[in-house]
Amino acid sequence: MSVTCTGEDRNLRLTVSGEVDHHGARAIMQELDRQVDAGLPRRLTLDLSGVTFMDSSGIAVLLRAYRRMAELGGALTVANVPPQALKVLRAAGLERIIRFE
Amino acid sequence: MKPINEAAISFLSRSANEGFARTAAACFAAQLDPTLDEVNDIKTAVSEAVTNAIVHAYPDRLGKVSLRLRLFEDGVLEIVVKDWGVGIEDVEKARQPLYTTGSEERSGMGFTIMESFMDALRVRSAPGKGTTVTMRRRISRRYSGGGR
């Protein structure tokens, strides 16, 4: 599991790779918090193109990103969600509150 | 009904074993020649059940978690995840979407995912004795293999 960060002008893109489960979720959240605190983004894109597996721990990660961006008055977009992860996120109804592209 | 094949593993309630358990289940299921979607559903449901045991069953110590996999003639895979931990006071409440007693890494959606990804889910638990989660999923046969 790894998280890489790119972006400028308060447009942050976090690319998550590997398996997003309970074992890895805490590290992803810590990196998310660190990057959001440092960059105070207006727009955050979580790119999940490299995610090879996700369980309900991923739901908690996305909800945290959503809350952090709501606190900042910014927008969250989740991009390139692989089919397995999308099925998990849909089962939780997340597409009703988070924008997927 | 007697199973035509079965396997069992047990492991300590360390989070590193979540990946081990779901991969082991996927490997066992491979003999049914499942689709990628079916494999992913099995991995996801096993991950949820095993994570529940690891997070909730043994809050202040390491304990044993077992995973038993059985395969039946009609293509039904049965997955049993068992722990001997603190148990669940109110199973019905625990199965409600968004209900969690875990920390912020938990979403409270574990049982909901297991229910929607499997054909059947049964949870038996007694406080102080542990929890047994039984899941069943039928895998559609795509060819008849020659193995025994």
**pLDDT < 50 regions, chain B:** none
Cα(A78)–Cα(A99) distance, integer angstroms: 6
Residues of B in contact with A86 (CB under 8 A): none
Q: Is A31 on the interface with B (CB under 8 A)?
A: no
For the four alpha carbons of B95, A29, B21 and A17, in that order, the dihedral sign comes to positive
Q: What is the pLDDT of residue A72?
A: 95
Q: CA angle at residue B59 from B94 to A68, to 5 degrees?
A: 70
Q: What is the pLDDT of residue A8?
A: 80
- Which residue segments constitute the domains of chain B, with CATH numbers given? 5-138 (3.30.565.10)
Nearest alpha-carbon partner for B133 in B104, B107, B113, B148? B113
Domain boundaries, chain A: 2-100
CB contact (8 A) between residue A55 and residue B105: no
Cβ atoms of B94 and B53 within 8 Å: the answer is no
Q: Is A23 on the interface with B (CB under 8 A)?
A: yes
Q: Could you report the predicted ipTM of this complex, rounded to two decimals? A: 0.92
Q: Quick: pLDDT tens for A27-83.
A: 999 999 999 999 999 999 999 999 999 999 999 999 999 999 999 999 999 999 999
**Distance from chain centroid for Cα B38:** 14
Amino acid A59 reads I
CATH number of A2-100: 3.30.750.24
Band of the pLDDT at A96, cuts 50, 70, 90?
Answer: very high
